[in-house]
Structure 1
Amino acid sequence: MGEFSGDDNWFKGVNVGALSDSARRAILEKIRDKLGFNEAAKTLGVAKSSLYRYVSGQRRVPDEVVARALRHLSRAEFEEIVRGEEKLRALGLVTGDGVPDYSAVLELLALATRDEYIKNAILRFTVENFREDLKKMLGISYAGVKLEWSEGFENFLMERKKRTKVRDPETIKYYRNLFRKHLEGRELSEQLIEWVARHPNGWLRNIFRHYIQYLYFRRRISGETMAWIMEVVPSRSYKLRVKAYRIDLDQFRKTMDYLRSRHELYYLYYLLMYYSGIRLEHVVKLVGAWSPDEEVHVEMLDDYSPRLVCFKSFCRYYMGLRESNKLCEWVYFPRDLLPLLEKHGGTKRDRSKVSDYARKHNLLRPKYLRKLNWRVLEKTVNKESAAKFIQSRLGEIGEISKAVYSDLLSDADYWYPRVMEVLRRGLEDIDYLKTVLKRGVPKPATA
């Protein structure tokens, strides 16, 4: 059986005789494009007229010419040309009669026990192509199971669920409304499972997956049934995409000017997000539950502290939100925002109203403030862990002991005044902010 070895002699595993005429011509065309027509003919040891006839299809490319050509292709280039069953034939994994090399196939399947990618690929292929056979083998059954939101399910989300528990009241409320709108009272069936799997709302898929785990926890379905459904219904983040967010700084400037003159509360929200990098949901909580004089226990310091701690030019306010995957520890902001906070402290708003207002008036969406703040942090703070601490990205820092936490807090207190001044100047001069994001913080001019 031929195989790619990963070294410079990979081509020795190719059965040239199994390659079709079109693949042979494509290989020669690739050599011609890489080396040029004259050099390709010389390298392959054929006359230029012969090379022309081979490439144009007037004559079949001999095996020995193809073999010489393969020496000048990389494995990746070969795989771009030869695909599917023809590739398997060339590698000796399938015979000319279309019969697979069973021992080789079984060896590949055995790799699934130690290769996560192959295992997931096999599972997806099995679900998509042999679903009924799989169900019969596993004895999957869920007849008579009805979906009902209950206190038990809510407790499961908050306390019993494995991995990340769902404890944020707003998230629970959203899940409950979504569940009752789409799933309440429906019977678990293959049709429902497929409908949820295709649903565009990833949060609906998430809450459905949580409920399936709850049904298994209550022994209403078997482990095999749960595993099958979890494979069929993708989670909200089942595809990894790298998103390049473009922040329109001119729209940011217009947004801040608009809010400053028309909506002071939302202007305060945007200022806090801009200066601290916290999420909209957290800034709404901060203002709504504003209690600067309250003494709180800071878990990682194992000590008590006022919620509001102020220095000469800036303050930090302790939120200590760690019960969901969206953490918010300390919120940093300029000290001169205190009058606005005192004025609007205790004012409660639904965060969706803020987003709706931004959309209605064509303002920069709230989520971009956190991204803008992070880009300024990257350009200003030379210590990555301090930048992450300022934005409460604690999960990205690693294990944090009491000593490490104290150091991070001190580092953040040291760096934040510099960050704040860059942000303040950027708020006043949008061209300066554009320069910072493009080239970094400009060095002060020397006399």
Structure 2
Amino acid sequence: MSDSNRRTFLKLSGGVLGGMFAGSTVVAAERTDRFVVTGKDVPADLEIVHEMPEVDVTVVRGSEKEVKRSKAVKKYAPDVDIELDEPVEPTDVSELDDGAPEDPLSVLQWDKDVQNIDSVHERTRGEGTRVAVLDTGIAETHPDFQESLNVELSRNFTGDGGDHNPRGVQYHGTHVGGIVAADDNATGVVGSAPGTDLVDCRVFEALNGGASFGDILAAITYAARIDADVANLSLGAYPFPKKGNGKFYGGAINEVMTHANSEGTLLVIAAGNDGADLQHDGNVISLPAEGAQGLAVSATSSVGFDPVTGEADNPGTAPTSYTNYGTNAVTLAAPGGDTPAGGGTPDLVYNAFPQAAADFFGFDRPYVYLAGTSMAAPQVAGAAALVKSENPDYDANQVEAALKRTASVPDGEDKAYFGAGFLDVEAALDG
């Protein structure tokens, strides 16, 4: 099937399954050739795509008739493909007014300023930790990943024939990875935890390709297997029904997420960009954001940030126009960026961009402005690595507790958008 036909099919099918997002609104379709199954024994009579012996979940390839016939299968549901659909077009720094800075570009990172990342780096840069990023792939040739990216452990879970690097002009994962751990090398941008061991887990296929639910489950399990302290998932599905296949998907991902958490891997997940009240949205659920042991992150933004003066009307704690919310559904809020009411781009989040994508879009540099809960989640993932670095004996729950305990809801803001509150990295380092 061609990319264009595949894209049309997914969009037409999205009405049945609900919207899915990778920090954005996307669409989904059930597959007819792959299934997620549960059972005590690996179904040896089926072709195994992903074997996860740590949990009672396997991804297999075959027809539904073959799956039904397998004596090893207890329950099953079709695997699901999801597709990216960004809410904000990538924007280059060259499109700003006169006065846009030259390298280093970290002066454009209001998201790091509001977290006082420069001061935090005087204590720790995340050394001794590991963060896995489940996304579209991180470009290993990018100048800001020459120290942090662990190429040997990075994996492609899609089966599309490539390695972990993004295919075509996919850029989402490179931007997310940069927010976590872009090298502090006096050029370009800087990540929250440049000293962490960054592992790229590509779960999205080539250009216009999707990410399957089964591949995501396998990547979460892998992150736990390699002792990742944190796994960032700037992706998800909403709204999933709580009944039928939705109940099965919820059960499968809850089992995988609970296992990862028990192994010490904190799962940081984008809350989604539907502007939805997850607390009062009826008989539906957002996965994996509302899954077991997940730390769901909503997005905030600066207001009127001036990259020349560094001044803003709001430092970065205003809830964005698109973020999902819900007091018991959202764990923390963090900078994700938003389009200013008067237009422009400085209130978006600036970070790494693959060179291939920069060439395609005609940008001068491999860096770009984006916005979304996709950008907010890796702020927390990086902060979690910093906390773990300072407190190496902490397990996943203790790292999360430190982040929640030290967060606070800004004066005059609605708690439903913040959960425990806005991320406070410095305070979290002290527990």
How does the TM-score come out when normalised to structure 2?
Answer: 0.25
Higher Rg of the two aligned structures = 1
From the two aligned structures, give the one with the greater strand fraction.
Answer: 2
Identify the structure with bigger relative contact order (alpha carbons < 8 Å, sequence gap 6+): 2
How does the TM-score come out when normalised to structure 1?
Answer: 0.25
